[in-house]
């Protein structure tokens, strides 16, 4: 009877998969309902500039209570003043999220001064942009600490409280570099691949423990943005793999959170192309990726 159960379970999974495809197509045509974040506490790291600052402002526009976290106090306070001038509520904290002790102190302050956190957006990141052999040991270590380990420290401090309440949302800002390797980004790609894998594994662990329905997980994977993090990006076909406008990315990221999307790759067309390419021998996606010449110039400081 074992094989009968296996066939039955396989058919059930097949039906679920077909339903998931149909649902995805439906929501691609029909506007998805957006959840409300009014009065919700949204904690965002790396809010001193770039994508983090825009995410903070846009969630504030939706009447969320914003917790701003950045290692650069002056820039973070500028974001705080911007939200304050919007007549919205925000709290600003200076913290190096790569340091687990500082994250522990941050969590204690937030719980004491703000209260529960509904949504965490792990956005802080760095990018040295050097050839692998020119990276110092300290640079490699710092990239992994900021881009990867910080996610661990933040989630470990805030996830337990979400589980206790039976709801929460964790967002990881990764990168298309967490899906495709790129020259002169060896340390950066490693850190972003790790984040994508971490979130995937965390989803499975929540499923195994019967808590997947309680916590929403979202991974955002944009290609290069015009934030200045990459000084001179290279792309042979900017229509397919463009240098993205950070304001546009922030809009897509906010919508992804409001619709509980598990994964968003920006631009979508690039993800589709490489997904199809990966159905073929490994040389095919590699040759395709090299054809697109999407990288950076390591000589530009």
Between CA 18 and CA 191 the distance in angstroms is 33
207 classed as catalytic: no
- CA 206, distance to chain mean position in Å, is 18
Between CA 281 and CA 272 the distance in angstroms is 17
105 token code pair? 């102190």
End-to-end CA distance of the chain: 66
Between CA 29 and CA 27 the distance in angstroms is 5
What are the phi and psi torsion angles at 20 (to 5°)? -65, -40
Beta bridge partners of 169: 119, 216
Catalytic residue among 93, 184, 188, 193: 188
DSSP-derived secondary structure for 262-296: SEEEESHHHHHHHHHHTTS-THHHHHHHHHHT-EE
Q: What's 225's DSSP letter? A: B
Peptide bond into 267 cis (omega under 30): yes
Contacts of 265 (CB under 8 A, 6+ apart): 176, 179, 221, 222, 271
- Give the catalytic positions in this structure: 188
């Amino acid at each position: 009877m074992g094989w009968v159960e296996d066939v039955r379970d396989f058919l059930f999974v097949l039906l679920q998969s077909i339903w998931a495809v149909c649902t995805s197509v439906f929501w691609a045509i029909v506007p998805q309902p957006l959840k409300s974040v009014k009065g919700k506490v949204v904690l965002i790291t790396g809010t001193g500039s770039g994508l983090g600052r825009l995410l903070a402002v846009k969630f504030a526009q939706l009447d969320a209570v914003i917790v701003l976290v950045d290692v650069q106090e002056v820039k973070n306070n500028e974001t705080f003043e911007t939200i304050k001038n919007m007549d919205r509520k925000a709290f600003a904290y200076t913290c190096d999220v790569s340091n687990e002790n500082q994250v522990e102190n941050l969590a204690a302050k937030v719980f004491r001064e703000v209260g529960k956190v509904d949504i965490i957006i792990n956005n802080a990141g760095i990018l040295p942009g050097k050839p692998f052999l020119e990276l110092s040991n300290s640079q490699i270590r710092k990239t992994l600490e900021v881009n990867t380990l910080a996610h661990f420290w933040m989630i470990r401090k805030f996830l337990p409280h979400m589980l206790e309440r039976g709801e929460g949302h964790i967002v990881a800002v990764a990168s298309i570099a967490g899906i495709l390797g790129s020259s002169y980004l060896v340390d950066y790609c490693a850190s972003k691949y790790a984040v994508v894998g971490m979130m995937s594994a965390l989803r499975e662990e929540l499923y195994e423990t019967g808590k997947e329905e309680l916590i929403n997980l979202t991974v955002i994977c944009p290609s290069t943005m015009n934030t200045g993090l990459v000084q001179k990006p290279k792309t042979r076909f900017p229509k397919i793999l463009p240098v993205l406008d950070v304001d546009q990315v922030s809009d897509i990221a906010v919508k992804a959170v409001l619709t509980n999307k598990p994964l968003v790759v920006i631009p979508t067309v690039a993800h589709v192309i490489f997904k199809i390419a990966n159905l073929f021998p490994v040389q095919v996606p590699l040759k395709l990726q090299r054809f697109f010449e999407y990288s950076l110039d390591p000589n530009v400081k």
